[in-house]
Structure formats: structure tokens, C-alpha cells
């Protein structure tokens, strides 16, 4: 009887470990469907917000996202607008563009950078934009980075 208890106990333990190791792979589709049906979204601070409009340039385009503001008083990231230059491989050696951030047809900021060095200069053309001169990531709301071959710029705004 003692031997039977040992065999059943060890068999149960081995089956439990095997089931625990296999369960995520078998249930992954169900978890994916359940999370997708829940309507969860990545916070705009991390995703850059929804796309507002696209500006076409010869050989590349600028994707302008909607302004991302503070959603709580404790949020440390200030308001910003994210811009994406795509495709990054076809950009000239020095990029200098006047960009309309709010979609009113008037340029709001003059953005200049070198894709190879990732040095950003942004000169505001409207008072609600803030000037930027940075290399790389200064903060989460003010940065220039290469992401999947594209150039992502976040400009702080008021």
C-alpha cells in the first residue's frame, strides 16, 4: 500500500508539472482572444497616440500623431506630439522639414536632424510648441530614436 501511494503521488506530481508546462501553449489562443475582446489598448504615452495625419514628401513621409497630454497629475511625462519619418533608409543626410502638428495647414515647428547621428533641432513657429535641441533620448516626452528603421521624434508641447 505504501508503494502504491508513492507511485500515485509521484505520478500526480509529474503530470502536474507537465500540464503546467504545456498549458500556456495550449491556452495561448484563448488568452489572446479574451484580451482582444476586452478592448484593452496600450496607453498613448507608450504608443505615441493615434495617427492624426500624414505629410507626403519626395521619397518619404511624415506620420503625425495626435497630441498626448497628461492623464493624471502624477504622470511624469509632459504633453508631446510624436512624429515618425518613414522609411528611414530613404531619408536625406540632413532632414529639415516644417511640420503642421495640429492639421490646420500651417506649419507649427521646423524640425531638423541627421538620421546618422540622431541629433535633433526643433524650432517652434507657434507659441504652444517648445524648442528642442537633443541627442538621443532626453526624456520620454522629448526624444529622437531609430525604431524598426524609422526615425521617431517626440516634441514637447504646451
pLDDT at 66 over 90: yes
CA–CA distance, 31 with 44 (Å, rounded to integer): 23
How do residues 12-49 score in pLDDT, each as one tens digit?
999 999 988 988 888 888 888 888 888 888 888 888 88
pLDDT at 98 over 90: yes
Q: Which residues contact 155 (CB under 8 A, 6 or more apart)?
A: 80, 81, 82, 83, 101, 109, 111, 122, 129, 130, 132, 142
At residue 44, the pLDDT reads 84
Pairing status of strand 80-86 against strand 150-156: antiparallel
At residue 112, the pLDDT reads 94
Average pLDDT over residues 116-144: 84
Question: Which residue ranges make up each domain of the chain?
Answer: 1-40, 44-156
At residue 99, the pLDDT reads 93
At residue 61, the pLDDT reads 94
At residue 116, the pLDDT reads 86
Q: Which residue has the higher pLDDT, 42 or 141?
A: 42
The chain-wide mean pLDDT, for the chain, equals: 88
At residue 23, the pLDDT reads 85
Is residue 155 within 8 A of residue 129, CB to CB? The reply is yes
Amino acid at each position: 500500500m505504501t508503494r502504491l501511494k508513492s507511485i500515485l503521488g509521484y505520478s500526480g506530481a509529474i503530470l502536474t508539472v507537465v500540464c503546467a508546462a504545456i498549458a500556456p501553449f495550449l491556452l495561448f489562443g484563448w488568452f489572446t482572444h479574451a484580451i482582444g475582446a476586452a478592448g484593452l489598448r496600450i496607453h498613448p504615452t507608450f504608443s505615441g497616440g493615434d495617427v492624426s495625419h500624414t505629410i507626403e514628401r519626395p521619397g518619404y513621409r511624415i506620420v503625425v500623431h495626435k497630441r498626448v497630454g497628461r492623464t493624471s497629475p502624477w504622470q511624469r511625462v509632459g504633453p508631446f506630439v510624436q512624429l515618425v519619418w518613414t522609411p528611414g533608409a530613404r531619408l536625406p543626410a540632413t532632414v529639415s522639414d516644417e511640420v503642421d502638428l495640429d492639421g490646420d495647414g500651417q506649419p507649427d515647428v521646423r524640425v531638423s536632424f541627421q538620421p546618422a547621428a540622431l541629433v535633433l533641432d526643433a524650432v517652434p513657429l507657434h507659441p504652444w510648441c517648445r524648442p528642442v535641441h537633443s541627442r538621443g533620448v532626453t526624456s520620454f516626452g522629448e526624444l529622437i530614436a531609430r525604431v524598426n528603421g524609422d526615425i521617431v521624434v517626440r516634441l514637447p508641447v504646451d
